[in-house]
């Protein structure tokens, strides 16, 4: 491999830029070695033209991988930008090249295998356990991360009664400005009780900030960053890890997963909307219907919790709850 080959340029990019400055450098290296270098390894990088980039990216689009195609195109662009900055090139074959893959916007949900990977791994580090439990709560309840980050003891009702326990988010903390009642299914209740164990008996905030400059709850982006951190520390070369790293889910995708799984359980849309605090815009629903659907929401979330335990393996959930004496 000559010093003017694309392979040599890619290696310099990894050594001098990606590994020093990018948290996603492993994904960059993997995508280069799997999707780019087999075609361009020995080509002089000065010989690679716009049409070559389009041909490579279109092959991925045609293979039904539009998201991957866009990631690879961005990566190639980064390599050539590095070459420009290093004064190795005077022209950039990707300049203003539109993304060719049509990505599924707002459609990302977690597969069964991804749920298993997420559930066990997101609480695996002691220092990340609190945020990991918060992300688990997002998957159990469909709540937004901003609502979870601000969770306080005084928002919890009947926590000692599994049949009535609930989390009531005040309207001041919800997107639509309305109080939102979330019945806590057994696994969600266990999660909340573990979070309470992590704070002092007189403390109110279940997700206290770690900042030395301010008091109060952690910021919502702390949970988003925790999700990102979980994905970045994944290792291995199995298909589930690769898919997660190629198209990393966000906390909002956990919420979308809850809605999708409830639909699969044949929960009516009206109840799914109430679980997620999506209120209909019609006049009757907005101004006159004050029924809180507590029983229907509890039934829906218990059914989801049961389905989730089957996805995970019932013995995992039973062991966790039994170890705390809370079944």
% of the chain surpassing 90 pLDDT: 66
Q: How confident is the model at residue 186 (pLDDT cuts 50, 70, 90)?
A: very high
CATH number of the domain residue 198 falls in: 1.10.443.10
Number of domains into which the chain is organized: 2
Residue 202 domain-assigned?
A: yes
Instruction: Indicate whether 61 and 169 sit together in one domain.
Output: no
Domain end call among 66, 85, 104: 85
Ranges of beta strands (E only) in 106-217 are: 156-157, 166-169, 180-183
Instruction: Please report the pLDDT score of residue 327 as a whole number.
Output: 39
Instruction: Indicate whether 41 and 122 sit together in one domain.
Output: no
Instruction: Indicate whether 124 and 242 sit together in one domain.
Output: yes
Instruction: Please report the pLDDT score of residue 322 as a whole number.
Output: 47
What does DSSP assign to residue 52?
Answer: H
- pLDDT mean over 283-288: 43
Instruction: Indicate whether 180 and 290 sit together in one domain.
Output: yes
Domain end call among 50, 85, 120: 85
Residue 140 domain-assigned?
A: yes
Instruction: Indicate whether 196 and 271 sit together in one domain.
Output: yes
Instruction: Indicate whether 10 and 47 sit together in one domain.
Output: yes
Residue 93 domain-assigned?
A: no
Instruction: Please report the pLDDT score of residue 127 as a whole number.
Output: 81
- Tokens representing 260? 């999708």
Instruction: Please report the pLDDT score of residue 236 as a whole number.
Output: 83
- pLDDT mean over 43-58: 94
Instruction: Please report the pLDDT score of residue 280 as a whole number.
Output: 62
3-state helix, strand, coil in the chain (%, to 5): 60, 5, 35
Compute the distance between CA of residue 108 and CA of residue 129 in angstroms, rounded to an integer: 25
Residue 250: strand, helix, or coil:
coil
Compute the distance between CA of residue 98 and CA of residue 165 in angstroms, rounded to an integer: 51
Instruction: Indicate whether 38 and 123 sit together in one domain.
Output: no
CA angle 79, 74, 88 (to 5 degrees): 20
Instruction: Indicate whether 28 and 129 sit together in one domain.
Output: no
Residue 95 domain-assigned?
A: no
Q: How confident is the model at residue 292 (pLDDT cuts 50, 70, 90)?
A: confident
Instruction: Indicate whether 55 and 117 sit together in one domain.
Output: no
Instruction: Indicate whether 69 and 161 sit together in one domain.
Output: no
Predicted TM-score (pTM) of the model is: 0.65
Q: How confident is the model at residue 21 (pLDDT cuts 50, 70, 90)?
A: confident
Instruction: Please report the pLDDT score of residue 56 as a whole number.
Output: 95
Where in the sequence is the domain holding 46, given as residue range(s)? 6-85
Instruction: Please report the pLDDT score of residue 319 as a whole number.
Output: 41
Residue 97 domain-assigned?
A: no
């Amino acid at each position: 491999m000559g010093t003017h080959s694309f392979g040599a340029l890619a290696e310099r990019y990894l050594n001098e830029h990606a590994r020093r400055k990018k948290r996603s450098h492993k994904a960059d290296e993997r995508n280069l070695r799997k999707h780019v270098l087999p075609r361009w390894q020995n080509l002089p990088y000065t010989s690679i033209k716009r049409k070559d980039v389009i041909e490579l990216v279109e092959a991925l689009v045609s293979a039904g991988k539009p998201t991957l195609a866009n990631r690879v195109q961005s990566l190639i662009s980064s390599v050539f930008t590095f070459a420009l900055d290093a004064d190795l090139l005077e022209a950039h074959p990707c300049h203003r090249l539109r993304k060719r893959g049509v990505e599924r916007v707002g459609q990302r949900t977690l597969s069964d295998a991804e749920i298993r990977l997420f559930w066990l791994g997101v609480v695996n580090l002691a220092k990340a356990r609190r945020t990991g439990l918060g992300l688990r709560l997002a998957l159990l309840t469909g709540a937004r991360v901003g609502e979870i980050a601000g969770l306080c003891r005084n928002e919890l009702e009947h926590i000692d009664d599994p049949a009535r326990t609930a989390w009531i988010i005040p309207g001041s903390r919800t997107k639509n400005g309305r109080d939102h009642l979330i019945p806590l299914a057994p696994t969600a209740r266990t999660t909340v009780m573990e979070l309470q164990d992590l704070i002092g008996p007189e403390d109110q905030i279940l997700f206290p900030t770690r900042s030395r400059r301010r008091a109060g709850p952690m910021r919502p982006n702390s949970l988003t960053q925790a999700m990102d951190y979980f994905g970045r520390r994944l290792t291995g070369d199995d298909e589930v890890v690769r898919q997660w790293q190629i198209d990393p889910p966000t906390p909002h995708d956990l919420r979308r997963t809850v809605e999708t799984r409830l639909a699969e359980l044949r929960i009516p849309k009206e109840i799914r909307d109430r679980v997620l605090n999506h209120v209909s815009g019609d006049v009757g629903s907005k101004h006159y219907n004050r029924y809180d659907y507590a029983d229907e929401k509890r039934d829906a979330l218990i059914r989801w919790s049961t389905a989730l335990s089957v996805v995970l393996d019932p013995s995992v959930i039973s062991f966790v709850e039994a170890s705390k004496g809370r079944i």
